[in-house]
Amino acid sequence: MNYYFHNIGDYRRDTTHLSLLEHGLYRQLLDTYYLDEQPICANHTKLIRSYNVRTEDEQQALTNVLNDFFLLTENGYIHTRCDSEILKFHQKSDKARSSVAVRWANKTKGTDTNVIRKQYKRNTKALLETYEGNTNQEPITNIKPPIPPSSKFDEFWNLWPQSKRKVGKVACLKKWKASGLDAIAPKILSSVQALKTSEQWVTGFEPAPMTYINQQRWEDETVVSFGQGRRIL
C-alpha cells in the first residue's frame, strides 16, 4: 500500500504518552508496515540500521514503541490495526475488480467480443489523431501527454541496486523531470555510484529512489568503506 487512512483522533488517544522521538519512530514503523504489507523485522540490529537509530535514547524509544504497539511473533513484529486496514484495502480492491468483471460480462453478453475489440481500437485511434492534431476536431483536453523520456534518468535508474526498494519508476521520472535534474545528472550519478560502495548500501539498507530524489541525497557527504578504513567523498 502506498497510502493509508490515518484517524487523527484514534492516533492521539493511543499515543498521548509518547515522546516526540517515539512519535517519529512509530510513524516510520507504520509507514514501513503499510508499504511492505508484512511484519516488521524482529532483528533489532537490522532495525537500528534501517531507521538510523544512533543514540541510547533513540534505541530505548524504538524498544518502547515496539513493546507498546507491536506483538512479537515468529514472523516478526505484527500490528493488528495495520493488518486489519491492509485486509480491508485488498477486499475493496478485489470487490472492485469483481464488479468491473460483472459489468463487462453483462455488457458483452451475446456480443461478438472481436467486434468490441475492433471498435475499441477505432476509438483509440481517433483519440490519438485528435490529440496529435491530425483531424479537424477540437483537441480533447482531458488526455494527458506521456512523460517525455530522459536518457539521464535511465542511467540513474539502471545504476540503482536491485532490491524491493527499487519501486515507483514512473513517479520518479516525473519528479526527475519536474525538478530539472538532467542539468545535474553527472553529480547525481557520481553520488549514487559512490553510495553503492558505502557500508549502508552494501548491507542492503539503501533508500528508495524517490526518497533519494526528494531528500536531495546527492548533497550529503558520502562515507565509503575500504577494508578497515573509511573516507568521506
pLDDT in tens, 99-122: 776 676 666 666 656 666 666 667
DSSP state of 54: -
For residues 201 and 195, give the distance between their C-alpha atoms in angstroms, rounded to a whole number: 7
Q: Does the predicted model carry a pTM greater than 0.85?
A: no
What residue has cell string 553527472? 186
For residues 10 and 80, give the distance between their C-alpha atoms in angstroms, rounded to a whole number: 14
For residues 118 and 104, give the distance between their C-alpha atoms in angstroms, rounded to a whole number: 16
33 — pLDDT class (breaks 50, 70, 90): very high
pLDDT at 30: 94
Residue 167 pLDDT > 70, yes or no? yes
Residue 138 pLDDT > 80, yes or no? no
pLDDT at 165: 83
* pLDDT tens digits, one per residue of 43-96: 999 999 999 999 999 999 999 999 999 999 999 999 998 988 888 888 887 777
Which residues are paired to 230 by β-bridges?
225
CB of 32 closer than 8 Å to CB of 40: yes
- Closest to 35 measured CA to CA, from 212, 208, 213, 215: 208
What residue has cell string 475493496? 92
Which residues are paired to 226 by β-bridges?
229
* Cβ neighbours, 10 Å, residue 162: 6
